[in-house]
Every structure is written in structure tokens, then in C-alpha cells.
Amino acid sequence: MTRQDIENEVRDIFLREFEVENPELDVNLREAYGFDSIDAIDLLLEIEKFLGSELTRDEKKQAMDIRTMRQIIDYVEMLAEKRRTTKG
């Protein structure tokens, strides 16, 4: 899975789940799109589906400071890499 694959999936999640089309990479999601804590929980559930595994408590904690699309993509990329090295 490439970074572009991850970005495409995250953008698809935002369109499908939050009706946000083509969010900018570096804007604060809360300020620009009204993204709130309920949305964040929904996003984590979608990330779990995408990765095919449940997030640990620590992984969920790491998501608490995420504010931008770029940070979400970095986060999912880190999780995917962690799972790849754990399985491989």
C-alpha cells in the first residue's frame, strides 16, 4: 500500500462519511469543515476497516492531536507500516 493509496482512501472516507469533497491537506479540519469528536470516532472506525484490524488504545491516543488531512495520512501510513512489519 503506497502513500497515494492511503491518501485516496482517506479522501474517499471524507467524501462518503462526512460529505467533505477534496479537503485541503494542511487546513484544520475542525475549523474548516466543523469536524468534531464524534466525526473523529467515526474516522477511526473507518481507518480500522481500511487496515483490516482494530486499533489499540495507544494507537487511538496517538490520534488525539491530529488536526489536518496530512496528519491523518501520516498516521494511517504509520499504522499500515507497523502492521506490515508485525505480520512480515
pLDDT tens-digit readout, 22-65: 999 999 999 999 999 999 999 999 999 999 999 999 999 999 99
In whole angstroms, what is the distance from residue 62 CA to residue 73 CA? 13
Compute the radius of gyration of the chain from its Cα atoms: 12
Q: Which domain holds residue 66?
A: 3-87
pLDDT at 88 over 70: no
- Mean pLDDT for the chain overall: 95
SS3 content of the chain, % helix, strand, coil (to 5): 75, 0, 25
Residue 86 banded pLDDT, cuts 50, 70, 90: confident
Per the structure block, which three cell numbers stand in for 64? 488525539
Rounded to two decimals, the pTM is: 0.92
CATH (domain of 18): 1.10.1200.10
* pLDDT score recorded for residue 20: 95
Count how many domains the chain has.
1
